[in-house]
Structure 1
Amino acid sequence: MHWPLFLVSVLLLFTIGYDFFFTVISINGAGSISSRLSALISTVFLKMNYALKTRRVLKYSGVSIILSLIIWWIGGLWLGFYLLILSDELSVVTASTGTAADMSDKFYYSGYILSTMGNGDFVPGSSRWQIVIAIFSFSGFIFITTAMTYLISVSSAVIHKRSLALFITDMTVLDEDEDRMNCLYENEADLRSMINRHNQNHLAYPVVHYFFSMDKKASFSFGLWELNEVIVLIQNNHAHRPHKLKPLIQAIDSYLNTMSEAFIPRVQRDNETEGVNSGELRKEQLHNLLKSDGWNLTQNEIT
């Protein structure tokens, strides 16, 4: 037994397992490695967006991150299992002759066993390795099926995000301020429910943030900016009752607080901002959200 190789494989498998299950099952965000990998890939696409001055490249951001995470999880599991059986010369043997499998054969076998129990050309070298390999075959099945379920959940969350953006656009597209304010009052409950749901989706699947929209109409961050403008109109209009929008404002602030945990700079009150009201702080957070979504606009240019 090659103990250093054995310890490296165990450490890698533990790291992969923790990162995978925390990201996929915990519903509390992503594992540290998955979140860093996602942020790194997203940063590359955002820089390409600014350099090429086109958002078309951003359409590949989300899918690239998902594929990278799958490669990290499944590939890491394969590598960890390969190093584990490589630590013992007789862990895997040729079925026909009983001789020890070489390094390339073990690499092939370790990948094959993650989805099946093998095809019979190689077999475990002892009863102890039979148990280990059976566990890894089952683990591979769990990883693959759980990853597919995760992809379905992420797709559903992305669709909800875009539906929410279009729902907001349908309200803010009205020409008259009075019409937009009345429309917001009529749809406040549904809108609040959808924002809260998106907030929870974002907490469970942070990768949703990296699925960027190509135009403003389908962009939730841009729609939220426009929605806040309507809220400000109502708050400054004494003929309306702005207190009825407090639940909606609370939902928006809750979402922005969620985003401040990882995706946008947190806006804090200090000596310079102590006199700034919550509306101005919210506006600054929304502007930061626009930048994190790849919209390279100043507050004066946002229309």
Structure 2
Amino acid sequence: MNWSLFIASVLLLFTVAYDFFFTVISINGAGLVSSRLSGWISELFLNLNKAVNGRKVLNYCGVSIILSLIIWWIGGLWLGFYLLILSDERSVVTASTGIAADVSDKFYYSGYVLSTMGNGDFVPGSPGWQIVIAVFSFSGFIFITTAMTYLISVSSAVIHKRSLSLYINDIMTLNEEDRINCLYENAAEIRNMINRHNQNHFAYPVVHYFFSTDKKTSFSIGLWRLNALLTSIQNDSGHPSHKVMPLIRSIDNYLSTMSEAFIPKNEGNPGKNDDGSDLKKLQLIKLLNSDGWYAAKKEIL
């Protein structure tokens, strides 16, 4: 038994399993590795967005992150299992001769067994390894099926985010009086949709990295415009602002969630920025930056 390989395999498998199940099942954000990997890839795409005209490159950010996470989870499981069976020379043997499988055969077998029990050309070398390999075959099935369920949930959350953005955009295209009246009529529904998006964002942080190339489907721009409308209502004594207070609180809760991971916290006075603007405005500007709207920000401020 090669104990160095054994310990390395156990550590890798534990890291992959914890990161996978925390990200996919816990509904409390992403694991450390998944979070860092997502952040690095998104930063790469945001830098590319600065270097090229248009935002088309951002179309591939969310997809690239999802594919990278799947490669990390499945590839890490494969590598960890490979190192585990590599730690024992007789962990896997050739079925016809009983000769120990070589390094390349074990790599092939470790990948094969994650989706099936193998095709019979190689078999476990002892009863103990039979149990271990059966467990890994079952683990591979769990990883693959759970990852597919995660993808469906993320897709649903992204669709909801874009639907919410379009909903807000439709209201913002009305004239001022109709816009305010429409907001009063739909404040409860918009609040519920924002709260749902907030929970989706908390459960599946990767949703943030599915950037929109169109302002109409960009939630950060829609939220900026919605907040501007709500601020004008609050500052106008002729409008009953108490009707939209639950909606304002839902926006505050969303920005609080975003501040945990995606927009830097303000330093100094927690209520005011240096230029006198309030914290919410600062958070919204940072949210726009995190969404890649560097140039468009000047057009909507």
Q: How does 1:198-209 map to 2 (within 5 A)?
A: 198-209=197-208
Q: Distance in 1 between matches of 2:272 and 2:258?
A: 20
1:220 aligned to 2:219? yes
Q: Distance in 2 between matches of 1:62 and 1:256?
A: 21
- Deviation digits for residues 227-271 of structure 1 (CA, Å, limit 9, x no counterpart): 011111211221111122111010000000000001001235618
1:135 aligned to 2:132? no
Q: What residue identity is the alignment partner of 1:199? A: N
1:170 aligned to 2:170? yes
Q: How does 1:254-265 map to 2 (within 5 A)?
A: 254-265=253-264
Match of 2:106 in 1: 106
Match of 1:14 in 2: 14
Match of 1:5 in 2: 5
Match of 1:84 in 2: 84
Q: Distance in 1 between matches of 2:11 and 2:273?
A: 48
Q: What residue identity is the alignment partner of 2:262? A: F
Q: TM-score, normalised by structure 1?
A: 0.96
Match of 1:244 in 2: 243
- SS of the equivalent of 2:171 reads helix
Q: How does 1:1-303 map to 2 (within 5 A)?
A: 1-174=1-174, 176-267=175-266, 270=269, 273=272, 280-297=278-295, 300-302=298-300
Q: Distance in 2 between matches of 1:110 and 1:141?
A: 13
Are the equivalent residues in 2 in contact too, given 1:291–1:297 (CA < 8 A)? no
Q: Distance in 2 between matches of 1:104 and 1:63?
A: 32
Are the equivalent residues in 1 in contact too, given 2:166–2:217 (CA < 8 A)? yes
Q: Distance in 2 between matches of 1:268 and 1:52?
A: 32
Deviation at residue 164 of structure 1 after TM alignment:
0.3
Percent identity at matched positions? Answer: 71
Q: What residue identity is the alignment partner of 2:35? A: S
Deviation at residue 45 of structure 1 after TM alignment:
0.2
Deviation at residue 204 of structure 1 after TM alignment:
0.3
Instruction: Pick which of 238-247 and 14-23 moved more.
Output: 238-247
- SS of the equivalent of 1:228 reads helix
Q: What residue identity is the alignment partner of 1:283? A: K
Q: Distance in 1 between matches of 2:275 and 2:252?
A: 16
Are the equivalent residues in 1 in contact too, given 2:113–2:137 (CA < 8 A)? yes
Are the equivalent residues in 2 in contact too, given 1:49–1:55 (CA < 8 A)? yes
Deviation at residue 299 of structure 1 after TM alignment:
5.5
The verdict on how the C-alpha distance between 1:264 and 1:272 changes in structure 2, with shifts beyond 3 A counting, is closer
Are the equivalent residues in 1 in contact too, given 2:165–2:222 (CA < 8 A)? yes
The verdict on how the C-alpha distance between 1:206 and 1:274 changes in structure 2, with shifts beyond 3 A counting, is closer
- SS of the equivalent of 1:93 reads strand
RMSD: 1.7
The verdict on how the C-alpha distance between 1:274 and 1:100 changes in structure 2, with shifts beyond 3 A counting, is closer
Q: Distance in 2 between matches of 1:194 and 1:272?
A: 27
Structure 1 unaligned residues grouped into runs of 5+: none
- SS of the equivalent of 1:301 reads helix
Are the equivalent residues in 1 in contact too, given 2:288–2:297 (CA < 8 A)? no
Q: What residue identity is the alignment partner of 1:200? A: Q
Q: What residue identity is the alignment partner of 1:8? A: A
Q: What residue identity is the alignment partner of 2:283? A: Q
Instruction: Pick which of 48-57 and 129-138 moved more.
Output: 48-57
Q: Distance in 2 between matches of 1:106 and 1:74?
A: 17
Are the equivalent residues in 1 in contact too, given 2:157–2:197 (CA < 8 A)? yes
- SS of the equivalent of 1:264 reads coil
Q: Distance in 2 between matches of 1:268 and 1:229?
A: 23
- Deviation digits for residues 163-197 of structure 1 (CA, Å, limit 9, x no counterpart): 000000010111x2111111100000000000000
Q: Distance in 1 between matches of 2:129 and 2:189?
A: 56
Deviation at residue 199 of structure 1 after TM alignment:
0.2
